[in-house]
Structure 1
């Protein structure tokens, strides 16, 4: 996904791919979608994100993670923004999403845009643009975000089981991404989003306590780094909000994540999994040695991911409730 990120690409949970409908990419999006109907849409959202960042440095990681979690369930349709009701528990209240935050940023952007161009800009588009701004304002690349998404009306907490988790191995990660039309290169590039954020102890306890019958600590962890994690996250009586930054520069979008991964200093099992296959490790090495190559790949994969068709049908007046 610093952010309360019990993984920028989700927190635990098993595969629920059997029977999962394959989501396809849409060609209906356009970079100039709002040029005539709401020409100041991007400047308005950027201003809101920038203001939020001044008060809370965890906002960028939160927005990036929120966008990922939106697109990986039902496509990019803003369903992660919907509130639960008496009859339905929504995605944001599913276990992997409990630690999502900064929804107020999307609310503030929506309010500002409703004043400028009512009933025009979808919440899904606001989230996609805010995620881009989160990266750019943290020192990362800028890119033209295709726009024209519609907001969905369905949001179910049970669907969060489909999110890839921090304990996933490489096969599970590849299968999860493939279900969304994303390949191995997308997996490695988008994992670089872990350059921003913070992880709670619960998401990596499996690596530092009782790793196996013969080893208490994951042997792929660098020893002094593992010791520091165990110190922060003891086996018993772990402080509620204890955890670790996802890399050593958790509020700066850079390629440090890949460098640390190669040193045995990654946080999640799913991070370390990228070094278990020759082709994925080659990409990790490439991005570790070149920030430019990482940014190029990240932008390409972000555009691809954020174009997954969510099948939404409306432009919500309030991002938290259907019209």
Structure 2
């Protein structure tokens, strides 16, 4: 449907008996985190910086709620107009697109404005141009630890796909439920 890399998904895993978003606090990066915090979060789990950048490439599809970026695109004490890492025309476009975010909390923008419905490396090509929606996206290009990987993935989609697929498989091995922990669901969207 959207393209992207192929990788084997391991089967026969136990699912949790309880699913709460709050259980993920501190385990998933937030868009407002510094790049140092995000790098530390991933490396502490055994991921390389290259794998972390590749996994961030999942932002090539999907969207972000305007409320997540409002502080960076509207006038406030920290930024006179918008975060200076934004391309100025892009920031102005985000301001227009998100103008009613207080009235409509579900208002959102695509993470990749060029190819929002295609899993490709255009997300990485956008970052040097100041077209990263989230602070964490823009940080990938401004941080010297991650910038070279952004450049590599922007130039070589096959390499991005290869590293992304390997990192996704590695991610799928984290926290696997064994024994009596969890269950194999009859329907994946319902607890037995």
State whether TM-score is above 0.5: yes
Alpha-carbon distance in structure 2 between the residues aligned to 1:267 and 1:191:
12
Q: Structure 1 pair 213/200, CA: closer, same or farther in 2 (3 Å)?
A: closer
**Residues 218-233 of structure 1: matches in 2 within 5 Å?**
218-233=83-98
Alpha-carbon distance in structure 2 between the residues aligned to 1:236 and 1:313:
39
Q: Mark the runs of 5 or more structure 1 residues left unpaired by the alignment.
A: 1-136
TM (norm. structure 1) is 0.54
Mapped contact 1:195–1:254 kept (Cα < 8 A): yes
Alpha-carbon distance in structure 1 between the residues aligned to 2:13 and 2:65:
32
Does residue 259 (structure 1) correspond to residue 125 (structure 2)? The answer is yes
Q: Mark the runs of 5 or more structure 2 residues left unpaired by the alignment.
A: none
Does residue 144 (structure 1) correspond to residue 8 (structure 2)? The answer is yes
Q: Structure 1 pair 207/235, CA: closer, same or farther in 2 (3 Å)?
A: farther
TM (norm. structure 2) is 0.87
Mapped contact 2:73–2:83 kept (Cα < 8 A): yes
Q: Structure 1 pair 190/214, CA: closer, same or farther in 2 (3 Å)?
A: closer
Mapped contact 1:190–1:302 kept (Cα < 8 A): yes
Q: 2:24 aligns with which of 143, 152, 160?
A: 160
Alpha-carbon distance in structure 1 between the residues aligned to 2:159 and 2:22:
37
Alpha-carbon distance in structure 2 between the residues aligned to 1:209 and 1:191:
25
Mapped contact 2:72–2:83 kept (Cα < 8 A): yes
Q: State the shift of 1:233 in Å.
A: 1.3
What is the number of residues matched between the two proteins? 187
Q: State the shift of 1:273 in Å.
A: 1.2
SS at match of 1:224: helix
RMSD over equivalenced CA pairs, Å: 2.1
**Residues 151-300 of structure 1: matches in 2 within 5 Å?**
151-162=15-26, 163-210=28-75, 212-234=77-99, 237-247=102-112, 248-300=114-166
Deviations 1:104-161 (A, max 9, x none): xxxxxxxxxxxxxxxxxxxxxxxxxxxxxxxxx3121212223332122243343232
Q: Structure 1 pair 286/152, CA: closer, same or farther in 2 (3 Å)?
A: same
Q: State the shift of 1:280 in Å.
A: 0.4
Alpha-carbon distance in structure 1 between the residues aligned to 2:8 and 2:78:
50
Alpha-carbon distance in structure 2 between the residues aligned to 1:219 and 1:276:
12
Alpha-carbon distance in structure 1 between the residues aligned to 2:67 and 2:79:
21
Q: Which runs of 4+ in 1 moved over 4 A?
A: 235-238
**Residues 64-143 of structure 1: matches in 2 within 5 Å?**
137-143=1-7
More divergent stretch after superposition (149-158 vs 190-199): 149-158
